Amino acid sequence: MSSINVHDWYQSLSSICCPVKVSSAKKGKGGKSEGTAGDPVIIQARFTRAATELQIAGLLRMPKKGRPDFAHRVCLN
């Protein structure tokens, strides 16, 4: 089993999903921007869901003790 830094993994995903912040985003009522695919909350939710699905499939294990920011990759070595 090899270790994966979960924070680095998330940062890689977020840099791919929203590489550049665009200031010309459409604004809804009250000046709040509408939810887009590049919204950090949506990206975090997608990442969490994907990590959970990998845990359910048995491809990723979170450590019971030690550093919680590292996960163990079970296969694909």
State the Cα–Cα distance between residues 51 and 36, nearest whole angstrom.
Answer: 21
Average pLDDT over residues 14-35: 64
**Higher pLDDT, residue 75 or 47:** 47
* Chain-centre distance for alpha carbon 41: 10
Helices (H), 1-77: 6-17, 40-57
Per DSSP, the three-state class of 13 is: helix
State the Cα–Cα distance between residues 49 and 8, nearest whole angstrom.
Answer: 17
Instruction: Give 67's pLDDT tier (boundaries 50, 70, 90).
Output: confident
Q: What's the one-letter identity of residue 45?
A: A
- Look at residues 14, 54, 53 and name the one whose alpha carbon lies nearest to residue 37: 14
